[in-house]
Amino acid sequence: MNESFMGSSPALQRDAVYLTFDDGPDPAWTPRVLQVLDDAQVRATFFMIGAAAQGAPSLVREVAAAGHGIGNHTFAHRHPWTMRTSVARAQVHDGAVALADIVGRAPAFYRPPHGRNRPCMTEAARRDGSMLVMWDRSAIDWGSLGTASRIAKRLAKVRGGEIVLLHDGRNRHNRPDEMLQVLPAWLHSLAQRGLRVLPLH
């Protein structure tokens, strides 16, 4: 499911797994995710909602200072298919501006809410210097399917070279509480398999 615009894509290595966390920053859950990643000495990429970032700028800077990547997840996480074209473009641009204002640089990557891409939004991201990045495997850590045991089974299928979708932001339906129950052990299992965990680059 990995996509990019104009034939470009992140440089992915077959002996690495690329963790991505969507819908943050979340003052309750993002720090807990950061602690688990720090304990495992790994780095990930956080696709942040601009409005949430504006509400927790120090947390955004903490994520960046720890060496994690920061991507644009639009300004308000509105469903791409429910907006006029001009509004959809503005959601992408305003999200990028919000993050750049906090960390001092434009986000290198962009991911549309709900994984629903629109060409006008991809073009807006390109104009802001961001590459569209989707994912290869989702933990489905949300809703009734987002239980720790089910998340663990999905993560066990991850292979090298894959981009993995997780959620650090609660955002109504997400289950970071369940995901965090299995994340430490899964990261340990990746290390045992000889797989590194890297941010997108």
Q: What CATH number did the domain enclosing 89 receive? A: 3.20.20.370
Please check whether residue 102 lies inside any domain of the structure.
yes
Q: How many domains does the chain have?
A: 1
Please check whether residue 3 lies inside any domain of the structure.
no
Q: Which among 92, 99, 79, 101 is positioned nearest to 126, based on CA atoms? A: 92
Please check whether residue 131 lies inside any domain of the structure.
yes
| Residues designated as active site | 22, 167
| In the predicted structure, residue 5 carries a pLDDT above the cut 90 | no
> How far does Cα 197 stand from its chain's mean position?
14
Please check whether residue 22 lies inside any domain of the structure.
yes
198, β-bridge pairs: none
**Between vectors from CA 45 to CA 169 and to CA 197, what angle results, nearest 5°?**
120
pLDDT at 180: 98
Q: pLDDT band at residue 10, thresholds of 50, 70 and 90?
A: confident
For 107, the domain range is 16-197
Q: pLDDT band at residue 9, thresholds of 50, 70 and 90?
A: low
Please check whether residue 166 lies inside any domain of the structure.
yes
Separation of first and last alpha carbons in the chain:
18
Percentage above 90 pLDDT, the chain: 93
Mean pLDDT of 46-70: 98
Burial tier of 183 (Cβ tally within 10 Å: 0-12, 13-18, 19+): buried
Please check whether residue 10 lies inside any domain of the structure.
no
